[in-house]
Amino acid sequence: MKVIDHINGSKRTQLSIEVLPPLKGQTIDSIYATLDSLVEFQPAFVDVTYHREEYVFREVSNGLLEKMVVRKRPGTVGICAAIKYKYGIDPVPHLICGGFSKEETENALIDLNFLGIDNVLVLRGDPIKSEGRFKPESDGHAHAVNLLDQVIDMNQGKYLDPDLKNQNPTNFCAGVAGYPEKHFESPSMKTDLKYLKMKVDHGAEYIVTQLFYDNQVYFDFVKSCRQAGIMVPIIPGLKPISTKAQLNIVPHFFHVNLPDELVEQVERAKNDSEVREIGIDWCKQQCRELIKAEVPVLHFYTMGRAKSTYEIAKAVF
Ligand code: FAD
């Protein structure tokens, strides 16, 4: 079932989660453990992230360094199929531009279609860690909107090979990312919203936001989107703080602000188990206010820490 049908078919706020594929060499058990613990809240859907390749340098003879390409978290498509058929929950694989040619994207979409997966979250992806800025593949896509066009083309039966005959259209529901505090590369919120609107005009049916810790930021973002003519559902993304180190890590990686009150509470905490409680309480308050505002879904970035999400879901659903 499509994410948009889950949203339109329910009057109450639902839960969804995002999981990361395990590191290469690990088993799928960590994903099952996360889902086993959260399945009682009937997640509407489960997003599975996609992680592009990274460059690592390994020392070889004579102190020389050899550049190697590694993909540390493969398995997105397989995990989606496992979730769909083990739990009957709709998976949402993330599709990214980075590291993918158009041909590889087409083949991935064909695999997903054959597996009966109805949804994709269409993203540009982050730059390779060792590169400062995002570089598209020469035969790939530069922006999420271009990748989205390929998905929508396939939904209309248009594949890359113009000579193909009797092509079957796919039927994916595509979501995209939005940034309540602006995407870090964008020169202004107005410019960022212009491109967000472009994604919706090109066929995105809903938006999932970057995580945020101040609900007012989300409410203002939704208002700005509506004023800009972006009318699709906007799903808030949430991640409870769980360690003191995250006071620096979260703003650095996600380009978001932490409210003074939350920072002060975390700074006063004696240890990380106190921080975890503070993070859970903060997130519970966010959730209660968001549910009151009738948001369609609360989307939790679990990042391998399902316990906090469980405690929050138990309290608010
Ligand atoms: P885009 O929509 O392409 O936007 C990127 C920047 O370019 C923005 O500044 C935008 O304003 C601008 N822009 C957009 N379109 C155009 C255009 N046509 N011309 C000029 N400028 C334009 N990363 C991963 O690697 N894997 C994941 O699984 C993943 N999942 C995510 C899930 C969510 C919900 C979110 C919010 C982010 C996720 N990311 C993931 C991170 C994301 O890939 C990065 O934030 C990335 O830097 C931007 O992706 P985007 O899809 O928003 O890109």
Domains (ranges, CATH) in the chain?
3-316 (3.20.20.220)
DSSP-based three-state secondary structure for 75: coil
What pLDDT digit, counting tens, does each position of 51-92 carry?
A: 988 888 888 777 788 888 888 899 999 999 999 999 999 999
Q: How far apart are CA 210 and CA 221, in angstroms?
A: 11
Q: Which of 143, 133, 148, 244 is nearest to 191 (CA)?
A: 143
Strands (E), the chain: 14-19, 45-48, 54-59, 65-70, 90-96, 119-123, 173-178, 206-211, 234-238, 297-301
Pocket test for ligand 1, best of 17, 80, 119, 123 (most atoms within 8 A of CB): 123
DSSP-based three-state secondary structure for 185: coil
Q: How far apart are CA 65 and CA 152, in angstroms?
A: 43
Ligand 1 atom 2: residue of nearest CA: 144
What pLDDT digit, counting tens, does each position of 227-268 carry?
A: 999 999 999 999 999 999 999 999 999 999 999 999 999 999
What pLDDT digit, counting tens, does each position of 166-178 carry?
A: 899 999 999 999 9
Transcribe 113-170 into DSSP letters: HHTT--EEEEE--PPPTTSSS----TTS-SSHHHHHHHHHHHHTT--S-TT--SPPP-
Within 8 A by CB and 6+ apart from 33, the residues are 306
Residue 66's pLDDT is: 83
Ligand 1 atom 53: residue of nearest CA: 124
Please give the number of the atom of ligand 1 that sits closest to the Cα of 122.
51
| Stated length of the chain | 317
Residue list, ligand 1 pocket, CB within 6 Å: 49-50, 52, 94, 96, 123-126, 143-145, 177, 183, 185-186, 191-192, 195, 208, 210, 237
Q: Which long-range contacts (CB under 8 A, 24 or more apart) does 252-257 make?
A: 254/210, 254/211, 255/179, 255/181, 255/182, 255/183, 255/184, 255/210, 256/181, 256/210, 256/211, 256/212, 256/213, 257/181, 257/213, 257/214, 257/217
Give the confidence band of 213 by pLDDT, cuts at 50, 70, 90: very high
Ligand 1 atom 49: residue of nearest CA: 124
